A and B are shown apart, each in its own frame.
Chain A
Amino acid sequence: MTTVEKQLRNAPRNYWYTIIVTVIVLALFYWSTTGVISLKDIDAKGFKIAGNILSGIVHPDTDLLFNITKQSVLYLLVETLAIAFLGTIVGGIISIPLAFLAASNIVPKPIAWLTRLLLIIIRTIPALVYGLMFIRVTGPGAFAGVLTIGLTSVGMLAKLYVDAIEELDTSVLESMTSIGCTTFEKIRYGIIPQLFSGFLSVTIYRFDMNMRDAATLGLVGAGGIGAPLIFAMNSYKWNQVGSILIGLVVLILIIELVSNKLRSRLVKG
């Protein structure tokens, strides 16, 4: 028997595990096809609409795309950008205290656990629900969008901040105590430099995601480019849909590029 054959025989045998997992996945697959797949609604009309959408995207309404009024795509994109930006800032500011409250190396376990539960709940509630709730507070408009984006960001930002805080190197703080630093000095020179770049990188990443969310919040009337997009779609004006989508995709791609550049520079230091 050669060494290769010996190694082959020694390989762990977990056929049963593999088979059971495969069976479960196949069963879930079958279960999920029941009731979801329905091709009966597809007819000639559907394909015609699909064709119209494509032709609209290829022939965008250039007038809407480039003029500078309050209804133009450019203005709406800037508004969406402003919502995402301000929302990220609001979310980032709220997340910092929550993250410290959820870090098990800073506060007692029960408090950390409760804060984490709160964060899970905040994270799970869909953004549109917040949007509809905030509209009751501020009235329809971009302000509701900012608050919504802020609150939805908290769920993710705080969770990732917690990871950074729990990796804090406490030996630095101990040595600073031993040379007689005050609490303020310890925070300024011991904690902030360790956390800052991590926090910033996460926040920039979330800004990137918020751009996408802000674009859809208009659906519930929370400002941004979503509302005109829906109106254009519901009235079958595919040229306008095309120009809005092109603007949106270009903006999101630019933001993604910038955010990736900034984050890789932060990582390198």
Chain B
Amino acid sequence: MYDKIFPPKKVSLSNGKVVLQKRSRTPLILIILIIAIIISMNFTDFSFSVLFTNIGQFFSIIGQMIPPNWSYLPKLWDALMDTLKMSLLGSLIGAIIALPFAVLASSNIIKSKIIVVIFKVILSLLRTLPTLVSALIATFVFGLGPMAGMVAIFLFTVSYVGKLLYEAIENVNMGAFEAMESIGMTRIQAFRYAIMPQVLPGYLSQSLFCFEGNVRYAAILGYVGAGGVGLLINEDLGWRDYPSVGMIIITLVVTVFIIERISEHFRKKLI
């Protein structure tokens, strides 16, 4: 289509041969991008003048966060532990439940097409649902508190680990599986000894990575009443108590950093 509107350039080589050089698509893509940017700017009322006159506000808030309110730490401790607990529990249970889901969604293990499609659809629907929305729904069912946050994190972990795991299972070398079936093992035994060893390191490493991300997510879930640090952040920003917010952010940064280091250590060992 594009080549018909802008015919390819003809280049004659020194030996008299004529070759066609396709026109670059870059200008077209650039024009589309610029139009999309302009439309988006109109939609979102983007204005540089507002940005440049008021950006000082942003930095003054950051300025007020320093120095942080150290005496806030004891009050923060319980909430931080709640956040850690719900992300740990949600990730653990989620990673375990993701295993059967992933098996049921991989087309080389399950012969029935219908089951595979159903589980793939379930996993991708769960994945598109934003965590905050599922947390909010969970607060209606399980009441306010860390339980709702745990459920939201659990759902996200199942979908995330489940998707990566079924992709891994579908890409394994099936030779060992077939060999074990041929010597009379059941499908479950063959799965356990032929496929699990191939996908296990990847599975554990993805679960750890997901846990890292979940700690960050868990920190905001309190905003909808699902327990943890988010609740405090919401309150303190509402009261414009910025030194306390600064303290919360520092503890979060330290916690996430430590967890990242630990998980990175184990993930390096796994691969």
Judging by beta carbons under 8 Å apart, are A219 and B223 in contact?
Answer: yes
List A82-132 residues whose CB lies under 8 Å from chain B: 82-83, 85-86, 89, 120-121, 124-129, 132
List B42-91 residues whose CB lies under 8 Å from chain A: 43-47, 50-51, 54-55, 57-58, 61-62, 81-82, 84-86, 88-89
Asked, given contacts A86-B40, A120-B253, A215-B130, whether A143 binds B58 with beta carbons under 8 Å apart, the answer is no
Is A269 close to B, CB under 8 A? no
- Interface-side segment among B7-15, B137-145, B169-177: B137-145
CB < 8 Å: which of A28, A47, A233 contacts B136?
A233
The residue on B at minimum CB distance from A145 is: B44
Residues of A within 8 A of B86 (CB): 32, 36
Residues of B within 8 A of A253 (CB): 124, 128
Produce 1/0 per residue, B204-233, CB < 8 A to A.
000000000000100110011001001001
Judging by beta carbons under 8 Å apart, are B85 and A34 in contact?
Answer: yes
Residues of A within 8 A of B61 (CB): 133, 136
Is A15 close to B, CB under 8 A? no
Judging by beta carbons under 8 Å apart, are B146 and A36 in contact?
Answer: yes
Judging by beta carbons under 8 Å apart, are B257 and A36 in contact?
Answer: no
Asked, given contacts A28-B88, A29-B89, whether A46 binds B140 with beta carbons under 8 Å apart, the answer is yes
Distance, CA A47 to CA B137, complexed state (A): 12
Judging by beta carbons under 8 Å apart, are B58 and A134 in contact?
Answer: yes
List B236-253 residues whose CB lies under 8 Å from chain A: 237, 245, 249, 252-253
Judging by beta carbons under 8 Å apart, are A133 and B58 in contact?
Answer: yes
CB < 8 Å: which of A89, A126, A141, A147 contacts B37?
A89
List B110-138 residues whose CB lies under 8 Å from chain A: 124-125, 128-133, 136-137
Is A142 close to B, CB under 8 A? yes
Distance, CA A132 to CA B249, complexed state (A): 14
The residue on A at minimum CB distance from B245 is: A129
Produce 1/0 per residue, A51-83, CB < 8 A to B.
001000000000000000000000000110111
Residues of A within 8 A of B92 (CB): 25, 28-29, 32
Judging by beta carbons under 8 Å apart, are A142 and B45 in contact?
Answer: yes
Distance, CA A128 to CA B36, complexed state (A): 26
Judging by beta carbons under 8 Å apart, are A83 and B44 in contact?
Answer: yes
Least CB distance from B14 to A in Å reads 22
Residues of B within 8 A of A86 (CB): 37, 40-41, 44, 46
List B137-161 residues whose CB lies under 8 Å from chain A: 137, 140-147, 150
Is B179 close to A, CB under 8 A? no
Is A223 close to B, CB under 8 A? yes
Residues of B within 8 A of A128 (CB): 220, 223, 230, 233-234
Residues of B within 8 A of A138 (CB): 50-51, 54
23 A-B residue pairs with CB within 8 Å:
A25-B92, A28-B88, A29-B88, A32-B84, A33-B89, A37-B150, A38-B143, A41-B143, A42-B141, A46-B142, A47-B141, A49-B140, A79-B44, A133-B61, A137-B57, A141-B45, A216-B130, A216-B132, A216-B133, A219-B132, A219-B223, A223-B44, A230-B136
Q: Which 4 A-B pairs give the minimum distances between C-beta atoms? A: A41-B143, A142-B44, A82-B40, A82-B43
